[in-house]
Structures are given as structure tokens and as C-alpha cells.
Amino acid sequence: MQLCRFFTVIVIILLTIFKCESKKRYVVGLLIHDDSHDTEMAFDAALSRFNSFNIHIEFESTKRVVSKDDVYSVYNEACDLISSTENLVGIFGPTSPAVAPIVTSICNNLEIPNVQIHWSSSQPQETTSINVHPDAKLFSIGLATVVKNLNWNSFAILFQDYESLIRLQYVMALQKDLKERILIRQIELNADNRALIKDLKNRGYVHFIIDCDLEHVIPLLKDVKEVEMLDYFHSYFITSLDAHTIDYTKIDSNSNITTVRLFDPEDEPVQNTIRDWEVSEMYHNRKLAFGPHEIKIEPALMHDAVNFFVERFYQLYLTQRPVMQSMSCKNMIKWDAGYRVASYLKITSMENGVTGKIMFKNNTRSTLYLQVVEIIHGNTKPVAEWSSFDVDELNLLRSESDMHQQMSTFLQNTTFIVSSRIGRPYLMYREPQYPGEVLEGNSKFEGFSLDIIDEIAKKMNISYKFVLAADKLYGNYNPVTKSWNGLIKDLLDRRAHLAICDLTITHQRRSAVDFSLPFMTLGVSILYSKSKPTDRDIFAFMNPFDSIVWMYIVTAYISFTLILYFIARMAPGDWENPNPNDLNPEELENIWDLKNCFWFSLGSTMSQGCDLLPKGISSRMASSMWWFFILIISSSYTANLAAFLTMVQMGPSIDNAEALSKQTKIKYGTVEGGATQAFFRESNFSTYQRMWMQMFQAKPSVFEKSNDDGVKRVKTTKNGLYAFLMESSSIEYVVERDCELKQVGGRLDSKGYGIAMPMNSPYRHDINTAVLKLQEEGVLSRLKTKWWKEMHGGGACDDVDSGASSSNELGLANTGGVFLVLGIGVAIAFLISLMEFFWNIRTTALEEHKGLGEVFLVELRFAVSFWIVKKRVNVFSSKTSTLNISSNENGNNENGNSEDTLADVSGIVKVD
């Protein structure tokens, strides 16, 4: 190879030394910047190659190093080059967009062909200038086609300046086809953009388009890495045509970075160009500093521009030689043949350039070839290609085996992120096993889902990490916003590799993500409350009457007593002779004081009678009405009490979905936005359609946010007027622990829970194989038994039904209130007796002029002498008369013949 290059250099040198004197010499000018060595090298190499193999004409170059932003100095340099150069046929450059327009203007005025290679957003007029750089509009269309085929549901654009937005105009036009809005943010050059990137991360964006100059790409990606967004879940599309030349090993990225370039480094034109450049550099005792994969767009375009110009000029020279003349900016002396040369350039084309075919239409380049490459661990790999000949198609270059190999490498170096949600028994927070235990990572969780992933990870020899979905939802599609939520969104946004919980495999979800084989088969069933016994109320004896009725009864009792008191005082028949032996008494007495009236009313109310009876006509009439009232009230109370204490609650009941759909008293619902709701909404079966309409039209809503909320509603709704439709597996878990609930009927359908993953995931086959093995080995059955019947209170209701009593006898829980009333009443009576006891002690002490302590001891001694049944009226008097003491004929009392039997007995009875 080195020998071949050596002979090539010798041939070029010999041809240069012995070239024919008859060659016509033409000059092309180059306005170059001081940092454009590669572009200048490409310019010189192209001219040298043409001169080496052409025997009729040769081109010489004249160069000026110009500023990138000083328009006045560039104007002077360009005019000096024009006026001082003979046989000038064209000017190349400059490449800076800031000063290129002034050179274009000069060349247009003097009708000198001007070849540009810089990106321009403006549409050129009919001038003598041509731009070999791809057209801005065509380039924007190509970028939009690439972005469209990336299948991003949403993305954010990080742009540098106004020209960036022009390049991305067709990309932004994709907004109408996207499910979410495109977010556009301008980056700060040579500044810290981490705050901006962190804001995008918080907004949930995982796909980004970066449009900025090449020197700003790596600093921006370093800021991205600081925010921890250079991982597998984030994708970046860099629009710079030189982005493939960056050394991405500096940032150690695991992200999917995509970019585009104008050529394939492996194509023959590129390889030939590299050899020409190597020879040119060897001629100047230099070594080419880059290879075909590091070619930047500027030297590549300069190479194609020079070759295109000299070859087209040579073709024109062979037909009609242009007449040369001197030109001047000062005197505005034009080149008469310049316009014809420029026009000929625009109507011709060149095949097999480094940047592809060169053609012009409406003064702009009408051909463009883009190769899409991915940056994988610092290496570029072509994956697709696009050309202006078919702007709507993107041809894929990557084979299926390449994709599997790439993913295999990825799996060996990646921890699987598993998205899930909290829900018993699939995933729960684990309680610390000892004080001070710190739970981190996967150790924070426990449950059926975690155990399944752990078993799969062992079989696949992978690591994993559980994370929770931000919105705590399963994953449903919103047709209004055209977006997914929950676990499905995490997969679509590449925030997780897998998603597992009680996630039902549905057709709609299957259209967005892939699912593994079902790890559990189930169906929709009905959760309902068991028939409840009569409410346990110790004051059940109060139930026969409403509280208002009880209040009226008490009011009637008090009112009647007061009325009876006044009637008895006014009725003559109730005033009696206090001494029956006195036939002409001077005074009459009335026994119907308030105390006796209240006692009479109470005795009548309790159906116990009273030793006091009214004698007056009016008082007897009032008493009769009260007895009639109490007769009705007492009879009604007795009848209702028997009914209330023995009644068995006969609430509404259901036994299947058909019965549930045919009634309207019991409401029923599902989880809002869940698969069960979708089952009824989309079902064509008449029963389920009827059930869906009843649920949909119910007010208030019968839908709940979660299964736990549905279970709670079933338990708290009075009289069993709510049923909840949910997966049979969840019902099995609930009824194993809550003995008040039961499953009604069988399964309404058959479906399965599966492990979700991004569409076309290459590890889907491995996941399916692992699930199948777990099923065959009985691991899935063992795990279900563990979490359904053993852990966290499982099996609590196994013996409840068999031990339940079928009788309706009354227990203490129903009649305890009666005992409570008895106890409270007796306690109050005892307290009153104590008050009477102490009040009598005080009264006796005052009357007998004795000390309270002395009287208290005498009375207490008598009170505790339970064998004594007779008591003196006053033990402190000399009299020995007693109350209610029967004596025999001999003067002895019934207990003995002692005259002083009661002499030492303490106790005082005050006689009115």
C-alpha cells in the first residue's frame, strides 16, 4: 500500500515537471479562514488531481485568509484578489455565513462564478453563485423523515439559534401527528444548561433533538450526564452533519444517540478521496490526520465543489473557450463570460461525489443523501438511509441478527428496571424485621410480583430494580390526549424494561406494548357482602319506639302528673278525714302531693298498680284516660319489642351477574379506567351491555380509583346496596382475610396477567421461556398459595362459616341495655339512700343536741346489725316505746323477755 502511494506521488511529480507547455492556465480564487486547514487541503488536492490527469488546461489557485465576521476586510480582500488576478474564472468561499453574502454580492455584480459550501437558509436569486451545501428545506424534510421513523410519541428540541429552527421547521410540523406536544428550549452556549435539562427531566421527556454547532455537543451532553439522563431510557438525535466525528467515549453514554451524515465512509468515492488527500499531504511532507469515518462536511463539500467546477468548466472549454479579461470592483468591470459559465454549472450534474450526486434546481442543490447512524458505546453503526429521490421513505440497513446481538450486549451490562404499583398481594411495602433496619432498593418491597421477577432473574441471570409508576395507574389510553398513562407510559417512554402487577393483557394494551405468557389466569367476578346479623345494640329495647316517641312519652308522663296534682287538689272527693274516729273533723287532708302523684303515674306506666287510688270523679276520669293511654303504649311496645329483638335482617341479595343486571336497587361498579371497566364497555353481550349502561348512568358514580376503595365501599354501604366487579384473583385474596365479604357467581370472562415490555423487545422470548418453566415446575402455584393463603392473614375465614350459628336467639349484646338500666337505677337509689341516711343523722344531731360522730356511730352500728329487725323511735329519750314492736301478754317482746332489749340498740327513727 505504501509502495503504491509512493509511485503515485512520483507519477504526479513527473507529470508536473514534464507537462505540456500548450496547457491553458486558469486561476480559481479561495477565500479561506485561518482555522480551515482541512478545507484548504481538500481544495488543493482536488485541483492537483485534476491538473495531473488533464492535458488541455490546468488550474492554479490564489488564496486569501479572511476574517469570519469582519465584512469590510473581507470586501477589501475579495476585491484585491479579483483586481490582481489574471484569468480568474471563479472564487470559492468563504465558508462563514456571516461574510459569505458580501462575496456573493461582489461576484454577482462582476458576473464571476462564486461557489459556496456553507449552510444557508435563504433562497438565492438568479445570480452567478451556486451553493453545493444541501438545500435547507430539503435537509429539514430529511430530518423530519428520520424523526418520524424513530416512532417518538413526544420529544423536546434543544436548539442554538434562529437558524436551528429553520433546519427543524419540518420536524416541528410533525406536531399534528404526535400524541403529545413538542417542547422547544434554547440552550445557552458556553454555559451551564443543567437547570434546563433537569426541568425537561421533571416534565417526563426522554427523547431529545439537539441542533447546535459541533463544538457545543459534548459540553451539552456532559450537562445531560450530570443530570443522569445518559442512560438506556433516553434517546438523542443530533442534527449536526459532523456529529459522527465526535469521540463519544468521553461521556461514557448508554443512551441511544442517533445522528446523520452525508456519505458512507465505506463507499468507493470516499475511499478514493481519502487516498487523494493522503497523497496530497505526503507531497507536503504531512500525514493525513483523520480517516474516512472522521471526514467533516466542510472538506467533503469543498472536494465535491472543486471537482464539480473544474470538470464542468473543462466541458465548457472543449465546446467554446471562455474569453478572459481583467475585472475590477472599483471600476465595476465585469467578466462577459462569467454569467454563461455560472448558468452552465447550474444545468449540469455530477455523479459519485463524496456527498452524493450534485444537481441544481432553482439555484439550489436538489439532491441529498443522508445516512442515519447510531452511536453504540462510542462506535458509529449505520442503521438507515434516506435520499431526496424518495423523501417519504427511510430504508433500514440493520438486520434482525444485528439487533439481537446489540441487545445481548446491552443485557449483560444493564440492570432491568421493573415498573410496578403498590397493590396487595402483588407488591407491598415490607415492614422492617428489627428496629433500626434500613430498607433500600428492592428490599423495600415484597409480594407476588417481586417473587416472580426474582425467579425469572435467576433463570435469565440478570439483575433488576423495582420502581413505582409515578401516577400509580395500570396503563390506559386517552383518546383525547392520544397518550398512555401508568405502567404502559413508563414502557413507551423507555423508563422501564418490564412492567408487572395485576396488569391485564388486553387488545388495546397489546397494540402499544408486548406481553409475556400469562403468569395467572383469572376472570371478572362479583364481590359482595355477606348477610349481616341484626345490629348488636345493647339498647335494642329502645328500638320499638322512635326517639321522638320516647320524648313524647316522657313529656306526657310529666304533664299528666302535674295535671293530676292540680285536679286532686280541686276535687272534693280527694280530701279525707285524717282521723276516722272523729266524725266531725275540723281538718281534712289530701294525700295527692307531687311525690304520690309521680309514684301513681309511674306505677300505672309500669303496669304494677299503686296503693294510692283517686276518689274524686275528675281525678278518676283523668286516671282512666292515663291507664288507657298506657295500655296502648305498653301493648305496642311489647309487640314491637318482640319483633325487633327476634327479627332476622332480610336485605337484598344476588347470586349471579344476570340477577345483578335485572335489578336496580343494588348499585355496582368497577375500577375507573381499568381492564374490567373496558370489558363491560366493549362487550357485545346483552347482559354486560345492560350492566355497563347502568354503571355509566349511575349517580353518584359507582366507579372507584382502586380495588381497595371498591372493597371499602362494599363493606361500608348500608344494607348491602353495593357490589364491586373485579378480577377473581383479587376477590380470592380479599375473602381469605375479610370474613364479611364473599364472591358471588363464577367468572364472567377469562383473561390473564402478563409481564409487559416495550414492543418488539428482543428479550421477550427469554421472559416467556422463564415463565413457562416456572409454571411447569409448580413455582407459580406455590407462590400464589404463599401470598393468598399464608402471608398477611391468609386463611382467616376457613372455619368461620362452619362455626357460625344458624339460630336467632337473643344474646347479651341485644339485651345488655336492660341490665345496664337496672344497674344504673339501683345505683342511683343507693346513692339517694345514703343521702337520706346522712340527712337523718344531721337532723337527729340537731334535735338531740348530739355530735354528728356520736349519732353516726349509733346509726352505723344498727345498720350493720342485720339480725335485729326492730328499732326504737329514739334511743336518746327515756321513753322505751318502739315502732312496730309486738309484745306478748307478759310484757316481753317477741325476741325475749328483757325489758331493755332495745336499750343498747343504736338507731333513731324520726316520727312525724
Asked if 258 and 237 touch (Cβ cutoff 8 Å), the reply is yes
DSSP state of 61: E
What is the predicted pLDDT for the residue at 902?
A: 36
CA distances from 518 to 3, 514, 763 (A): 66, 12, 16
DSSP state of 705: S
Residue-range domain boundaries for the chain: 2-134+269-351, 136-261+371-396, 406-521+753-800, 524-532+652-749, 540-576+590-646, 820-883
- Write the burial class of residue 490 (CB in 10 Å: 0-12 exposed, 13-18 middle, 19+ buried): buried
| Fold that domain 540-576+590-646 belongs to in CATH | Helix Hairpins (1.10.287)
According to DSSP H, which parts of 235-393 are helical?
268-283, 297-319, 338-347
DSSP string, 347-385: H--EEEETTEEE-EETTEE---EEEEEEEETTEEEEEEE
Name all contacts of 307-310 with Cβ < 8 Å and 24+ positions apart.
307/46, 307/50, 307/350, 307/353, 308/132, 308/345, 308/350, 308/353, 308/358, 309/28, 309/90, 309/92, 309/113, 309/115, 309/345, 310/28, 310/46, 310/47, 310/50, 310/59
What is the predicted pLDDT for the residue at 820?
A: 62
What is the predicted pLDDT for the residue at 66?
A: 93
Asked if 738 and 711 touch (Cβ cutoff 8 Å), the reply is yes
What is the predicted pLDDT for the residue at 437?
A: 81
CATH superfamily of 406-521+753-800: Periplasmic binding protein-like II (3.40.190.10)
Q: Does residue 65 sit in helix, strand or coil?
A: strand
Rounded-to-integer distance, Cα 265 and Cα 271, Å? 7
Asked if 338 and 128 touch (Cβ cutoff 8 Å), the reply is yes
Domain 2-134+269-351 sits in CATH at 3.40.50.2300
What is the predicted pLDDT for the residue at 424?
A: 84
Predicted TM-score of the model (pTM): 0.61
What is the predicted pLDDT for the residue at 894?
A: 40
* End-to-end Cα spacing for the chain: 147
406-521+753-800 and 524-532+652-749 in the same fold: yes
What is the predicted pLDDT for the residue at 804?
A: 46
Rounded-to-integer distance, Cα 1 and Cα 20, Å? 30
* Mean pLDDT, contiguous 10-residue spans, the chain (912 residues): 53 49 83 91 92 89 92 93 92 91 92 91 78 91 92 89 91 84 90 91 86 92 89 87 89 86 90 90 86 91 94 90 86 88 90 90 87 84 90 82 66 83 90 83 92 91 90 88 89 87 89 91 87 64 80 84 79 74 75 83 78 78 81 82 60 74 88 84 88 90 88 87 88 86 85 87 85 93 90 72 47 54 63 76 80 80 66 55 37 40 39 36
CATH superfamily of 524-532+652-749: Periplasmic binding protein-like II (3.40.190.10)
Segment (H or E) for 114: strand 114-116
- If phi > 0 it is left, if psi is from -120 to 50 it is alpha, else beta; for residue 798 that is alpha
Angle at 439 between CA 434 and CA 440, to 5 degrees: 160
The closest alpha carbon to 98, from 82, 116, 123, 79, belongs to: 116
> What angle do the packed helices 297-319 and 338-347 form, to 10 degrees?
110
| Fold that domain 136-261+371-396 belongs to in CATH | Rossmann fold (3.40.50)
CA distances from 542 to 197, 627, 639 (A): 70, 21, 13
Query: Which residue is it, cell 417526563?
Result: 204
Give the CA-trace dihedral at 729, 734, 737, 738, to 10 degrees.
-150
Q: Which residues contact 368 (CB under 8 A, 6 or more apart)?
A: 134, 135, 138, 139, 142, 262, 356, 387, 388
- Write the burial class of residue 85 (CB in 10 Å: 0-12 exposed, 13-18 middle, 19+ buried): middle
What is the predicted pLDDT for the residue at 195?
A: 92
